[in-house]
Amino acid sequence: MRSYETAVAGAQSILDGEAHAYALCRPSGHHARSDRAAGLCFLNNAAIAAQLLRGKFDRVAVLDIDVHHGDGTQEIFYRRPDVLTVSIHADPRHAYPFFTGHAHEAGFGAGLGANLNLPLPRGAGRGQMLAAVDVAAKSIRDFAADALVFAVGFDAHNDDPVGLCALGDDDFGEIAQTVKALGVPTLIVHEGGYAIDVIGRCLDAVLGPFLTAS
């Protein structure tokens, strides 16, 4: 199965009525733009899923917590008012993709106000990340999203070789609790993460809240 087909299958399960689904996409997709591959991404799995969800849901949000800006996802929806794109990532002045991901990028034309970038300072840890997630959650509530694509990378982990942020395993679980509390159908799409030994634990932490009833 191709990477994007995994996201399509996950989106279809949400369209069929599941509250939550997880798509183990490889390679990741969030740097891929509408017209070109970039950053080891060929097709934008999260964006494809978001577009599919629009077939049923009027207002869809994408929340991307990979340590790199979700520039492809931003570009694809930048002029659209019906899909809110939110990305929490290392400050692009010090990190790929360098040219996008700044806080002033808020959308264009009809899409103005439907893009939110929350760059983190180099070495950001739990407190800064969780504060940004709270801001992101508020924006998703204010947008009145009725479905969510949660693009999850694990390269903000303290052990990740990219060395940009300093999250621990459990911090990913806390992020996931905030996301689940939004109370909308949610497709989790796997993005980056290069500390092979910790990805499994972090994924457990993310999926945990979605596997409990409350």
3-state secondary structure string across 150-208: EEECCCCECCCCCCCECECHHHHHHHHHHHHCCCCCEEEEECCCCCHHHHHHHHHHHHH
Sign of the alpha-carbon dihedral angle for 72, 118, 125, 176: negative
Name which of 40 and 144 has its Cβ closer to Zn ion: 40
Q: Which stretch binds Zn ion (CB under 5 A): 7-15, 114-122, 132-140, 145-153?
A: 145-153
**Within positions 28 to 57, which residues make up the interface with Zn ion, using CB under 5 A?**
none
Query: Binding of Zn ion at residue 153 (CB under 5 A)?
Result: yes
Q: Which helix (H) or strand (E) holds 87?
A: strand 83-90
Which of 3, 14, 62, 66 forms a contact with Zn ion (CB under 5 A)? 66
Name which of 39 and 185 has its Cβ closer to Zn ion: 39
Q: Site mask, Zn ion, residues 179-198, x = CB under 5 A? A: -------------x------
Which of 68, 80, 180, 190 forms a contact with Zn ion (CB under 5 A)? 68
Q: Which stretch binds Zn ion (CB under 5 A): 53-61, 155-163, 167-175, 195-203?
A: 155-163
In this structure, the number of other CB atoms found within 10 A of the CB of residue 12 comes to 15
Name which of 30 and 59 has its Cβ closer to Zn ion: 30
Query: Binding of Zn ion at residue 64 (CB under 5 A)?
Result: no
Rounded Cα–Cα distance for residues 14 and 97 (Å): 31
190 is an active site residue: no
Query: Binding of Zn ion at residue 169 (CB under 5 A)?
Result: no
| Terminal CA-CA length for the chain | 33
Q: Which helix (H) or strand (E) holds 77?
A: helix 71-77
- Interface residue list for Zn ion (CB under 5 A): 66, 68, 153, 155, 192
